[in-house]
Chain A
Amino acid sequence: MRLSFRYISDKAFTGLTAVSVVLLSLVLIVVLAPMIWRGSSAVVFKATVEFRKMQMDLFNRGEPSELQAEIARTESFRKEVYETLDKFKKGIDTESLSDQARRIHRQFGSELRLRNITGDEYTQLRSLTRELRDRLLTAFESRDIAEIRENIEYVSGYKNDPRLTDTSASALFELGTNYLESAQSIDLKQFEQYSESIEEIEQSIRDLFGPRPGEPTPAGVRLRYGATRWDQAAKCLDRLFWAQKWVETEPAKPLIKIKLSRAHQFAGTELEKLFEYMEQNVQKLLNPRLTFYWQYFIDDSFNSHYFGGVGPEILGTVLITLLGMLFVVPLGLISAAYLVECASDNPAVRIIRMCINTLAGVPSIVFGLFGLTFFILYLFPLLGAESKGCILAASLTLAVLTLPVMIRASEEAIRAVPQTYKEASLSLGASGFRTFVTVTLPAALPGILTGVILSLSRIAGETAPILFTGAVALGPVPKSVFDPTRTLSYGSYDMAVGDRISMMVPHNQYGMVVTLVILILCLNTLAIVLRTRVFKKLKGQ
């Protein structure tokens, strides 16, 4: 090989390795960074007063007096919103107006009877109010502004009738004039659309602020509070200000969604200033504050993770991981010790080795089914335990899953210990077992810890084996190893394919996944640090 070519190929090889390292880091960043960014929004976000209300009620967190003061402040601003809404509704809620008219007529009747007015006077007055009521009803049901004006003006004509002043019937006139006022300002042709819009507006406001003060508390926890997060509130505001409609722009093409401004729709009415008011005073209405919700990692969740954190999931994952490690590390070590120290090269041992290597490639779902069949359906009843999924079954299954990895790593590590250590120990009078435990094992520790690290990551993150053997999507915090548990891995899957409610809280979905990633990262870092220290000690630093 000519020198220049060798030089070039050397440089090219170095360059290629550098490029691949950079590429790997880029891919890692591209995949992890958005996930971590979105997941961190589960812990660090702008929380509204609704959030603090929820924390106080569900988790007993926060200063009660401070919270009350805050609630009082926001409610004083919200009052304006409700009042505007009510006023407008009153103006166009013709059904309730009609009911009110009828009610007033009946009330007047009973008032007359109380005053002992009977006979002709009674009939006269009653027929008058009946006529007025009917005129009002016609006006309410009409969609022609001229007709409405005619009827209301007729009714108002009787306003100063001495027989009706200072009675309950005088309420009829107020009803009429109010209606005329609002009827004049709205486009009656759009009356039906208004009621639809009003419903949507009211729903958005309920989403934002929660139930109105004075309304009965809803049974579902989710419905008791408004938008707890600022990003959630932004979405509700968007739905409030913009109506979404599907329109056909071109025939035979799919419909597209367009946004129509509601403020524009209600232009000229009472409701118009609602939108303006809300837009200007959003901060005061919700009082958002940047919060560091670290309790996310210890809180239980409510309503399919709508509120709360991933505490039980973390607990479940940690329990299963630790128990699984407890099973796999001794078993793997002893098997590796047998294979290296004691096993002679006969066909039986060769078959065992082949089986171990094959098991390393079996899909994890097969292990899950094995765990279900063997541990839960066969072994547990045999030993008298209940035949249901639990932490014990899950960790046993996961231990069997990672056993080949552990055995292989330990075997390599034990084989790598120099023969001279063994010779020195034996020549000092140690037995084979003593030599293994006091000299070979400590010297093989870094390699064994590598096996431990690999097993740890595998056990903490595997989902398929625990599907049937111990993981549940919803359930109480486990009290013993014979209970099933929620885990981060299964929970992530459940939220991803799960119900509507999970879709409403993407920050929780991301949060759970990122928690799993961070948990495994921490466990791995711990194990790597430990291994480095053992390695340094073995080298003599």
Chain B
Amino acid sequence: MDRQKQSKSESLNNKDTAECACSIVEAEDFSFYYGSTMGVKNITMEVFPCSVTAIIGPSGCGKSTFLRAINRINDLIPNTRIEGTLLVNGHDIYAKKTNLVNLRQQVGMVFQKPNPFPKSIFDNIAYGPRLQGTTKGSKLQQIVEESLKAAALWEEVKDDLRKSALALSGGQQQRLCIARALATRPSVLLMDEPCSALDPIATGKIEDLIEQLKSDYTIVIVTHNMQQAARVSERTAFFCLGELIEYDFTPKIFRNPGKKQTEDYITGRFG
């Protein structure tokens, strides 16, 4: 807890906090169960605003479970239950009176496989804002343009926004999904292995994009690729078998990990 408080003040000193309107995600003894199977257990960590936090770990360790719990997309699966609390900006998101629509508009998500809707590029991006109630054409046009620019896709598609989103390449589709998530002006952006289905060049573009976005959004990225985690994140959390093993600054995790399990994973003794 002390170390985390120290990191928080560091982050506050390192950024212009007046510009940063991002949220804080806090997990306190959070556990998630699929029926009787455990997903994650006793997670206590704080995600810091306006930074990139990476979650690494071997397959099946609960990284995606934890990520998907943050915007409650796990509710789609029947027979799940939680223990503990998960706070976004101080609100308990698993409380009975939580407005799911609000939550999901504040916490955006980008999935592993690009999944644009079978509609036009414009309609894909405008989907979120339309849900929020924006119907004026000019306002939508503005939001779409801003989102596409933020996702570094504007130059490539600006000529024909009515083209079907499925006609884009894989990397473009993923950037479209990022733009779509950004259109609702979220404060937290969750990314579940966003580059695993893409080629290296597209991956590089997405990583550059993450670099650009981190000053305005709180980003939590789950990744299998340790080098990617080392490249893009400020802090890294290491999960194993459903538990949080270690959570610290990225350079420290990769050069001088505190726990042996972390070291074994980093050096590749188990995968």
Contacts known (A425-B127, A429-B102, A429-B128); A539 close to B166, Cβ less than 8 A: yes
Whether A541 contacts B76 by the Cβ 8 Å rule is no
- Smallest CB–CB gap between B240 and chain A, Å? 26
Give chain B residues whose Cβ lies under 8 Å from the Cβ of A427. 71, 73, 104, 108-109, 111, 181
A500 at the interface (CB under 8 A from B): no
Selected from A424, A442, A541, the residue in CB contact (under 8 A) with B111 is A424
Whether A540 contacts B71 by the Cβ 8 Å rule is no
Give chain A residues whose Cβ lies under 8 Å from the Cβ of B108. 427-428
Give chain B residues whose Cβ lies under 8 Å from the Cβ of A442. 118-119
Whether A424 contacts B71 by the Cβ 8 Å rule is no
Give chain A residues whose Cβ lies under 8 Å from the Cβ of B128. 428-429
Contacts known (A540-B166, A541-B164); A426 close to B104, Cβ less than 8 A: yes
CB-nearest residue of chain A to B75: A426
Whether B109 contacts A540 by the Cβ 8 Å rule is no
Whether B117 contacts A421 by the Cβ 8 Å rule is yes
Whether A429 contacts B115 by the Cβ 8 Å rule is no
List CB contacts (< 8 Å) of B56-81 with chain A. 71, 73, 76, 78
B101 at the interface (CB under 8 A from A): yes
Whether B117 contacts A439 by the Cβ 8 Å rule is yes
B177 at the interface (CB under 8 A from A): yes
List CB contacts (< 8 Å) of A489-541 with chain B. 537-541
A423 at the interface (CB under 8 A from B): yes
Selected from A421, A428, A443, the residue in CB contact (under 8 A) with B104 is A428
List CB contacts (< 8 Å) of A427-451 with chain B. 427-431, 434, 438-439, 442-443
- Bound together, the chains give a CA A538 to CA B118 distance in angstroms of 5
- Smallest CB–CB gap between B100 and chain A, Å? 8
Selected from B105, B113, B118, B177, the residue in CB contact (under 8 A) with A429 is B105
- Smallest CB–CB gap between A444 and chain B, Å? 11
Most buried by B among A422, A429, A443, A537: A429
Give chain B residues whose Cβ lies under 8 Å from the Cβ of A420. 111, 113, 115
Most buried by A among B127, B128, B184: B127
Give chain A residues whose Cβ lies under 8 Å from the Cβ of B21. none
Whether B181 contacts A428 by the Cβ 8 Å rule is yes
- Smallest CB–CB gap between B137 and chain A, Å? 18
Whether B104 contacts A540 by the Cβ 8 Å rule is no
Most buried by B among A421, A428, A541: A428
List CB contacts (< 8 Å) of B178-236 with chain A. 180-181, 184
CB-nearest residue of chain B to A424: B115
A418 at the interface (CB under 8 A from B): yes
Give chain B residues whose Cβ lies under 8 Å from the Cβ of A538. 118, 166
Selected from B78, B100, B115, B164, the residue in CB contact (under 8 A) with A423 is B115
Selected from A344, A428, A443, the residue in CB contact (under 8 A) with B118 is A443
Query: Count of B residues near A, CB < 8 Å?
Result: 30
Give chain A residues whose Cβ lies under 8 Å from the Cβ of B101. 429-431
CB-nearest residue of chain B to A427: B109
- Bound together, the chains give a CA A429 to CA B131 distance in angstroms of 7
- Bound together, the chains give a CA A541 to CA B167 distance in angstroms of 7
Contacts known (A421-B117, A425-B127, A429-B131); A540 close to B180, Cβ less than 8 A: no
- Smallest CB–CB gap between B220 and chain A, Å? 14
List CB contacts (< 8 Å) of B101-134 with chain A. 101-102, 104-105, 108-109, 111, 113, 115-119, 127-128, 131-132
Contacts known (A422-B76, A423-B76); A430 close to B117, Cβ less than 8 A: no
Interface size range on A against B: 20 to 34
Whether A429 contacts B73 by the Cβ 8 Å rule is no
Contacts known (A537-B164, A538-B118, A540-B118); A428 close to B131, Cβ less than 8 A: yes
Give chain A residues whose Cβ lies under 8 Å from the Cβ of B73. 423, 426-427
Give chain A residues whose Cβ lies under 8 Å from the Cβ of B115. 418, 420-421, 423-424
Whether A423 contacts B181 by the Cβ 8 Å rule is no
Selected from A425, A426, A541, the residue in CB contact (under 8 A) with B117 is A425
Most buried by A among B78, B104, B180: B104
- Bound together, the chains give a CA A420 to CA B177 distance in angstroms of 12
Whether B102 contacts A424 by the Cβ 8 Å rule is no
- Bound together, the chains give a CA A541 to CA B76 distance in angstroms of 31
B165 at the interface (CB under 8 A from A): yes
Give chain A residues whose Cβ lies under 8 Å from the Cβ of B184. 428-429
- Bound together, the chains give a CA A426 to CA B77 distance in angstroms of 13
- Bound together, the chains give a CA A439 to CA B164 distance in angstroms of 14
Give chain B residues whose Cβ lies under 8 Å from the Cβ of A421. 115, 117-118
- Smallest CB–CB gap between A421 and chain B, Å? 6
List CB contacts (< 8 Å) of B160-177 with chain A. 164-167, 177
Give chain A residues whose Cβ lies under 8 Å from the Cβ of B165. 540
Most buried by B among A418, A422, A426: A426
Give chain B residues whose Cβ lies under 8 Å from the Cβ of A431. 101
CB-nearest residue of chain B to A431: B101
Whether A540 contacts B117 by the Cβ 8 Å rule is no
CB-nearest residue of chain B to A438: B127
Selected from A422, A430, A443, the residue in CB contact (under 8 A) with B131 is A430
- Bound together, the chains give a CA A434 to CA B132 distance in angstroms of 12
CB-nearest residue of chain B to A419: B76
Residues 175-206 of chain A, each 1 if its beta carbon lies under 8 Å from chain B, else 0: 00000000000000000000000000000000
Give chain B residues whose Cβ lies under 8 Å from the Cβ of A425. 117, 127
Give chain A residues whose Cβ lies under 8 Å from the Cβ of B131. 428-430, 434
- Bound together, the chains give a CA A241 to CA B119 distance in angstroms of 74
- Smallest CB–CB gap between A427 and chain B, Å? 4
- Smallest CB–CB gap between B132 and chain A, Å? 7
- Bound together, the chains give a CA A344 to CA B105 distance in angstroms of 28
Give chain B residues whose Cβ lies under 8 Å from the Cβ of A541. 164, 167
CB-nearest residue of chain A to B165: A540
- Bound together, the chains give a CA A421 to CA B177 distance in angstroms of 11
Give chain A residues whose Cβ lies under 8 Å from the Cβ of B119. 442
- Bound together, the chains give a CA A427 to CA B78 distance in angstroms of 17
Whether A428 contacts B105 by the Cβ 8 Å rule is yes
Nearest 9 A-B pairs (CB), nearest first? A540-B166, A540-B164, A429-B105, A420-B115, A427-B109, A429-B104, A540-B167, A538-B118, A428-B128
Given contacts A423-B111, A428-B131, 8 further A-B contacts (CB under 8 A): A421-B118, A423-B76, A423-B109, A424-B117, A425-B117, A430-B101, A442-B119, A539-B118
Ordered by A's residue number, 16 sampled pairs between the chains whose C-beta atoms are within 8 Å are A420-B113, A422-B76, A423-B73, A423-B111, A423-B115, A428-B181, A429-B101, A429-B105, A429-B128, A537-B118, A538-B118, A538-B166, A539-B164, A540-B118, A540-B165, A540-B167
Residues of A within 8 A of B (CB): 344, 418-431, 434, 438-439, 442-443, 537-541
